[in-house]
Structure 1
Amino acid sequence: MNEQEESRPRVRVAVVFGGRNSEHAVSLMGAGSVLAALDRSKYDVVPIGIAPDGRWVLASENQRFEIEGGELPVVDDSGAALALPSGSGSLVALDSGRIPESLGQVDVVFPMLHGAYGEDGTIQGLLEMAGVPYVGSGVLASAVGMDKAYMKAVLAAAGLPVGPYVVVRDRDWRLERERVLKDVEELGWPVFVKPSRAGSSQGISRVDGAEGLEQAIEFARTHDPKVLVEAAIEGREVECAVLESLGDEPPAASLPGEVLYGDHEYFDFNAKYVPDEMRLQVPADIPVAVSEELRQMAVRAFEALGCEGLSRVDFFYTPSGSLIVNEINTMPGFTSLSVAPQLWAATGLSYAELVERLIQLALARPAGLR
């Protein structure tokens, strides 16, 4: 590093992780990878944990970020409590019994959060109000991408094929249960029952007949009062990552990869996050024309929601040769071994380069309406 580079102030990056939802541990696993990948010669890194009860704390990079002995990681909430006042862009420490102390300006936030109160537009709205640039999609795209019912409506309106589904809203389930069960039965069996606003395969059940349906819906409702029931689609699971381009170029799509999850009935939590439970074949063994069509559809899905930064789009490739969009994730799993980073690594962009690109995209993007 030359003298000019040494004198240049480092960009201050706050990596936010944890959160008060069932994907708390998944967030920590991704944050550990991001923290390890950040170039400390360029970035001044501030780790911020959101405890399960919603408190923001100044975290330690020495805390546990991985699953160990079957135990999921949790934010160590012993650090100073933090606040990010609206319009200030500065972190404030709120130690009990002391005058609030400013910890200085944050240049960009990397919200390594999944699920409700993080991936759903809530923290994005907070950061917009604080005037702080951040990695990933904005408020609307994040909210739509989190709610599978609205996501499918938007994708279908954009002309993209989605599978049959039924939305089970809280009021309908409480007051019109028989009608809801009949609507679901018309989808045929089996079906997949899942929370409408959750990820990482939390709260999902496969149901093969009417006798297990109510229990599966009640289980999904422990995560979200709004539930989505999808007809099972026969096909291979093929995924594609999309990355916003610097400048005015259109978004770029990675090579598609096929998810192979062995003895698992579907791509569940263990298949996603326990080492050696899942294998990703990149590029997917599909015809070249199908691969190209899939990549184009992935970009269309990204643009239909108005996504920014990075997304992962999941497809079914059916025996008839057609493609069906399953869902889009605006903040996909982000450990170095997660699907989206692996897809980009196979396409020629390493994990560290991907993290760098996302930060540069966030810094180049103006806050507010755009």
Structure 2
Amino acid sequence: MTIKKKVGIIFGGKSSEHEVSLQSAKNIVEAIDKDKYEVTLIGIDKDGSWHINDESQYLLHAEDPKLISLNKTNEGVAIVPGQSQNQVLNMSTKASLDQLDVVFPILHGTLGEDGSIQGMLRIANIPYVGTNVLGSAVCMDKDLTKRLLRDAGIGVAKWHTYKKHQKEHISYAEVEQDLGLPFFVKPANQGSSVGVSKVRNEEEFQTAMDEAFLYDTKVIIEEGIEGREIECSVLGNAEPEASVPGEILPQGDFYSYETKYIDESGARLEIPASLDQDTEARIRQTAIESFQVLECEGLSRVDVFLKDNGEIIVNEINTLPGFTKISMYPKLWEASGISYPNLIDRLIELALERHERDTSLKSSRE
């Protein structure tokens, strides 16, 4: 009899992408091979409290992305660092949960893909799916991402960076002169277009800055790029692979949060993208190089602009991309020959492989 691996799925969270995470968790729970894995569900509510959930009732309004919510329980969770077993406790009963073989932290945005949960799981010595602490933190910060890619010779859009204390001294005229119109204002540490605004005039600029600073103390102002929006999924650790690229064809002004996760008619996805062989190869190679430069592991989705002259501009790298039913990451791998259940298998294998590699390293001089 095959012993099932125990997989903890952590989802929800305090970020602005809470509802997206719930949808992603739902998708994974439905797709994971129950003959191979035993699932433990740990939901984090918007206040940051952790809940042990039952698979039969962990979500409310599960079929409606506008109303979906976490079903809070009275069973809290504690993570115990430094243990080889009994790392996860039920705070209501004080009993330890079954030893988790691996955690899939399908948490998007702040505290989920910025290195925070990754650091906690590392301290607790629990293998986890996805990029390590450093890569997660770097990719979450759009300013640092651009600096590292630029220094590696990878194309990025021109940008300015400002901290909140500089807000009153930012000159719209100088930004317009340098970046042209339209340009985009973005919180430096948010994902999925949260707090992002397209700016065409000074009035929109002031509103956009106010909006962005609601979500972060650092904001980037980025030139608008005319080009096709292409996305590529990357999978692997030391020797990553890139999927076939897909193209986003937004029906609105730009690829907003609502378009990505709520309005299924908000954008058309062309998978695979209509590209000549050379361009496809260059995009896939750029995705892999970006993944490696930014110290990513496990999985990431690399988003680029393809300009009319063939130039490739990297827009962002998402280290925990959405797994909703309209998400690009799993769709691109399906088009590349890896089914959804097999993709989950591979991600778990990569997590265990990375953990074994890391724990084999010496941590002292003894």
| Range class of TM-score, shorter chain | over 0.9
Contact 2:260–2:326 (CA under 8 A) maintained in structure 1: no
**1:348/1:66 CA distance change after superposition, 3 Å:** farther
Q: Shift of the alpha carbon at 1:64?
A: 2.8
Q: Deviations over 1:226-250 (max 9, x none)?
A: 11111100011011111106xx6x2
1:102 aligns with 2:102: no
Q: Deviations over 1:108-156 (max 9, x none)?
A: 0000001111110000000000000000000000000111111111111
Greater shift in the superposed pair: 119-128 or 205-214: 205-214
1:344 maps to 333
Output the CA distance in 1 between the equivalents of 2:124 and 2:17.
25
Which residue, out of 180, 205, 212, partners 1:213? Answer: 205
**1:76/1:183 CA distance change after superposition, 3 Å:** farther
Amino acid at match of 1:122: S
Q: Deviations over 1:195-243 (max 9, x none)?
A: 1111121111111012211111111111112111111000110111111
TM-score (structure 1 length as normaliser)? 0.91
Which residue, out of 126, 130, 134, partners 2:128? Answer: 134
Contact 1:32–1:65 (CA under 8 A) maintained in structure 2: no
Contact 2:52–2:77 (CA under 8 A) maintained in structure 1: yes
Q: Shift of the alpha carbon at 1:189?
A: 1.0
2:352 maps to 363
Amino acid at match of 2:232: C
Amino acid at match of 2:330: P
Output the CA distance in 1 between the equivalents of 2:129 and 2:64.
32
Amino acid at match of 2:28: V
2:196 maps to 204
Contact 2:60–2:71 (CA under 8 A) maintained in structure 1: no
1:91 aligns with 2:85: no
**1:37/1:207 CA distance change after superposition, 3 Å:** same
Q: Deviations over 1:160-210 (max 9, x none)?
A: 00011111212222xxx2345344222111111111111121111111012
Q: Shift of the alpha carbon at 1:270?
A: 2.0
Q: List runs of 5+ in structure 2 lacking aligned partners.
A: 362-366
Percent identity between the two aligned chains: 42
Which residue, out of 228, 231, 246, partners 1:257? Answer: 246
Output the CA distance in 2 between the equivalents of 1:87 and 1:74.
33
2:364 maps to none
Amino acid at match of 1:295: R
Output the CA distance in 1 between the equivalents of 2:140 and 2:173.
26
Contact 2:104–2:128 (CA under 8 A) maintained in structure 1: yes
Moved over 6 A (4+): none
1:328 maps to 317
Amino acid at match of 1:153: R
**1:66/1:229 CA distance change after superposition, 3 Å:** farther
**After superposition, where does 1:57-136 map in structure 2 within 5 Å?**
57-61=51-55, 62-64=57-59, 71-88=66-83, 89=85, 90-95=87-92, 100-136=94-130
1:232 aligns with 2:224: yes
Between the two proteins, the alignment pairs up a number of residues equal to 354
Output the CA distance in 2 between the equivalents of 1:76 and 1:230.
39
Contact 1:31–1:65 (CA under 8 A) maintained in structure 2: no
Q: Shift of the alpha carbon at 1:39?
A: 1.1
Q: Shift of the alpha carbon at 1:72?
A: 3.3
Q: Deviations over 1:67-120 (max 9, x none)?
A: 65563322222240001111225210112xx5x211131110000001111110
TM-score (structure 2 length as normaliser)? 0.92
Which residue, out of 146, 157, 164, partners 2:140? Answer: 146
Output the CA distance in 1 between the equivalents of 2:65 and 2:52.
26
Instruction: Give the RMSD, CA atoms, in angstroms.
Output: 1.7
- Three-state SS of the structure 1 residue aligned to 2:286 is helix
Output the CA distance in 1 between the equivalents of 2:13 and 2:278.
41
